Structure 1
């Protein structure tokens, strides 16, 4: 197997909350292990507050990790020292934000943002060629004729067009991985499919990998090759998207599938069975964070944090019950590999 393009090893981000005398730690992301390979779309799904956007910001270097390491093309990001190295990484792993209305500067035209990015990240593009390059990437994301779009201001465009411009700006840097944080959640349902098709075309035609962050498992199934499910700061299940959704092993994943029924999925947990509030991630104690909502929970679930184990080829699950059902008891637990 080839090495992953982007990889997280024990990635953790803790925020300090409270006053000087009563400080606590909010565990937004805890011990996340995952990899994104070249030419694939990986969906990261979970409910609000699960830590999905924090992972994107860690990968984009908006936040530094509290612990753990991020590897890009086999090199740790902690080893980036010079401004040129940081700019090179930001060009290779750009981010498309959730809100298309605030991610563009209303005082400048579409061309301004793309050309400015080219000046910063693509010194190989001559000044006289930057306008042509801007039109090329606009055409690649379905905004044509591009010559009529580059001179427009954001207020002259629809929400879907603005979000396509976000992808065009990222594409202008010749990226290897695009971090797409809920890119269609603020758009009308009727135009979401167009943006999802843009994402698949970037993978198929441009060879770009994507981390697609969403709470919508239906759209994740439509575009993704693999899926990671996150709950309360931890990745609880990952694998090929059809395997994860067709035969979910973690009770939380089953709860997500139950919310969008799949007639092919065999579920042990339903929305009626999983009751209670999401867990607090401030100063969490050892144990499975889904235990208080899980009807299958056992004593070990409340005292021991389940590791992410490979229970089947390419399928990783963090669940004591699922591990036992797969014949992987506590004595035979082997952490899952990071190169899936």
Structure 2
């Protein structure tokens, strides 16, 4: 089991100038279920390899239970991997274990949580969390400089007047304002990558677009990358450069967002697209082709984990777990029956 830490020295960054900002290789996380002599293992994440480049927004999409939030917690250091490795700017996180290096990594890669109502402490004013983060992660600042920086990041996320907002308690803010404060706390670290775990799912539809626009603005103005975790394909299409689709702990498809949505290669991606409401279509009670059992992730057997619901299942799907293959320009899918686009070279395993 690896320990999450990272070196933040200039030498480390210079060692791999062309490395992705963040990369996972065969990242795995299993949870033990039950006690006694025959415990079972829940395979929350299995052999996941993804990359996030500098100033890039990558959307990680899938239904509830697919393993998206587990990946976010692995990257944030909440969980330790069962297997595989996480690399930050080309350095393995398991290679450095000092508290200083861990704080440096978590300063560069903070997390914005799903629930804006429980992520802020109701006993303190809004300024408390931001100032505390600044004191922990930027100890070089004086008290006056911390106050100035706190006001700056609050204004950067679109909340004005900043001094008045910071003086309020969380219950005095709307859900959208609270979530913006979550982004402000993350931005106070001067991050390179923000892990955004379903940041708009609990907000009204009318204010979600503002948070998505905020992510795009922070990418442009502050150079921040995002791993945007969502079950909403429409919001992923709006904001993300690349789309990664997860199902039952596996990545089943990845590629440029528009390419994946315009030309899906995996049946599960088709299913997700079919579930997106169309106001022009007549009312439907279900999604065509969505049949079969939910995914089996407790001691799963070899084979495609989507086979119980797949309309295109073949015999090989029951015996061999598919791996990601290149099926187009930067477009990969893990499916035995998926066909490559015209002009694509023969099947090649892919890590991206």
The TM-score, its normalising length taken from structure 1, stands at 0.93
Q: Does 1:133 align with 2:154?
A: no
Q: Residue 243 of structure 1 corresponds to which residue in structure 2?
A: 259
Q: Distance in 2 between matches of 1:244 and 1:199?
A: 21
Any idea what SS the aligned residue of 2:203 has?
coil
Q: Does 1:40 align with 2:56?
A: yes
Q: Residue 100 of structure 1 corresponds to which residue in structure 2?
A: 116
Q: Distance in 1 between matches of 2:39 and 2:271?
A: 34
Q: Residue 266 of structure 1 corresponds to which residue in structure 2?
A: none
Q: Does 1:254 align with 2:307?
A: no
Any idea what SS the aligned residue of 1:186 has?
coil
Q: Which runs of 4+ in 1 moved over 3 A?
A: 323-329
The Cα offsets for residues 97-128 of structure 1, whole Å up to 9 and x where unpaired, read as: 00001100111111111111011001222222
Q: Residue 30 of structure 1 corresponds to which residue in structure 2?
A: 46
Q: Is the CA contact (8 Å cut-off) linking 2:327 and 2:341 kept in structure 1? A: no
Q: Distance in 2 between matches of 1:252 and 1:325?
A: 18
Q: Distance in 2 between matches of 1:219 and 1:59?
A: 22
Q: Is the CA contact (8 Å cut-off) linking 2:328 and 2:341 kept in structure 1? A: no
Please, which of 279, 282, 301 is the counterpart of residue 285 of structure 1?
Answer: 301
Q: Distance in 1 between matches of 2:349 and 2:277?
A: 31
1:328 deviation in Å? 9.0
The Cα offsets for residues 144-198 of structure 1, whole Å up to 9 and x where unpaired, read as: 1101111111011111100000000000000000000000111111111111111
Q: Is the CA contact (8 Å cut-off) linking 1:28 and 1:281 kept in structure 2? A: yes
1:129 deviation in Å? 0.7
Any idea what SS the aligned residue of 2:42 has?
strand
1:326 deviation in Å? 7.1
The Cα offsets for residues 221-254 of structure 1, whole Å up to 9 and x where unpaired, read as: 1111110000000010000100011111100001
Q: Is the CA contact (8 Å cut-off) linking 1:307 and 1:318 kept in structure 2? A: yes
1:261 deviation in Å? 6.5
Where structure 2 has 5 or more consecutive residues not aligned to the other structure, the ranges are 1-16, 279-285
1:2 deviation in Å? 3.2
Q: Residue 230 of structure 2 corresponds to which residue in structure 1?
A: 214
1:229-240 matches, within 5 Å, as 229-240=245-256
1:129-278 matches, within 5 Å, as 129-260=145-276, 271-278=287-294
The Cα offsets for residues 278-313 of structure 1, whole Å up to 9 and x where unpaired, read as: 212000011000111111111111100001111112
Q: Is the CA contact (8 Å cut-off) linking 1:42 and 1:227 kept in structure 2? A: yes
Q: Distance in 2 between matches of 1:205 and 1:328?
A: 36
Q: Residue 2 of structure 1 corresponds to which residue in structure 2?
A: 18
Where structure 1 has 5 or more consecutive residues not aligned to the other structure, the ranges are 263-269
Q: Distance in 1 between matches of 2:43 and 2:323?
A: 17
Q: Is the CA contact (8 Å cut-off) linking 1:13 and 1:67 kept in structure 2? A: yes
Q: Is the CA contact (8 Å cut-off) linking 1:310 and 1:337 kept in structure 2? A: no
RMSD: 1.9
Q: Residue 79 of structure 2 corresponds to which residue in structure 1?
A: 63
1:323 deviation in Å? 4.5
Q: Distance in 1 between matches of 2:181 and 2:277?
A: 34
The TM-score, its normalising length taken from structure 2, stands at 0.90
